[in-house]
Structure 1
Amino acid sequence: MSRSAPLGRGTKVRTAVLAATIDELSERGYAAFTIDNVAQRTGVHKTTVYRRWPDREALIAEALADSVATDIPIPDTGSVDDDLRALARSLVTWANSASGRAVLAVMVSTAAGLPAPPNSARHVFRDRIRQTLPVVTRAIARGEIPDATDPAEMIKTLVAPIYFRVLITGEPVDDNTADAAATLALTAARAHLFAHD
Structure 2
Amino acid sequence: MNAEHGTPASAEPGTLRPGGRTARVRAAVLDAAGDALAEQGFAHLDLADVARRAEVGRTTVYRRWGTVTGLVADLLTDMAESSLPRSETGSLLGDLTANARLVQRTLADPRQGALFRAVIAAATCEPRTAEALHRFYDVRVREWAPCVRQAVDRGEAPAGTDAHEVIRAVSAPLYYRLLTTAEPLDPAAADRAAAATAAATRAGAYVRPSPAP
TM-score by length of 2: 0.80
Question: 1:153 Cα deviation (Å)?
Answer: 1.6
Give the fraction of aligned pairs with identical amino acids, expressed as a percent.
38
Deviating more after overlay: 18-27 vs 54-63: 54-63
Structure 1 unaligned residues grouped into runs of 5+? none
- 2:206 is matched with 194
C-alpha change, 1:48 and 1:37, in structure 2 (3 Å) is: same
Aligned partners of 1:132, 1:7: CA distance in 2, in Å?
Answer: 28
- 1:121 is matched with 132
SS at match of 2:43: coil
Which among 52, 77, 84 is matched to residue 64 of structure 2? Answer: 52
Question: 1:82 Cα deviation (Å)?
Answer: 1.7
Aligned residues: 193
Deviations along 1:101-146, one digit per CA (max 9) or x if unpaired, are: 21222203578xxx54622233222442233222212222232211
Q: Does structure 1 residue 108 correspond to structure 2 residue 121?
A: yes
Aligned partners of 2:207, 2:123: CA distance in 1, in Å?
Answer: 34
Instruction: State the AA in 2 paired with 1:90.
Output: L
Structure 2 unaligned residues grouped into runs of 5+? 7-17
**Superposition RMSD on alpha carbons, in Å?**
2.3
Q: Does structure 1 residue 70 correspond to structure 2 residue 82?
A: yes
Q: Does structure 1 residue 89 correspond to structure 2 residue 101?
A: yes
Instruction: State the AA in 1 paired with 2:33.
Output: T
Asked whether the 8 Å contact 2:123–2:130 carries over to 1, the reply is no
Trace 1:1-197 onto structure 2 (pairs within 5 A): 3-4=4-5, 7-97=19-109, 98-109=111-122, 116=126, 118-123=129-134, 124-197=136-209
TM-score by length of 1: 0.86
Deviating more after overlay: 89-98 vs 100-109: 100-109
Aligned partners of 2:171, 2:65: CA distance in 1, in Å?
Answer: 30
C-alpha change, 1:135 and 1:53, in structure 2 (3 Å) is: farther
Asked whether the 8 Å contact 1:24–1:38 carries over to 2, the reply is yes
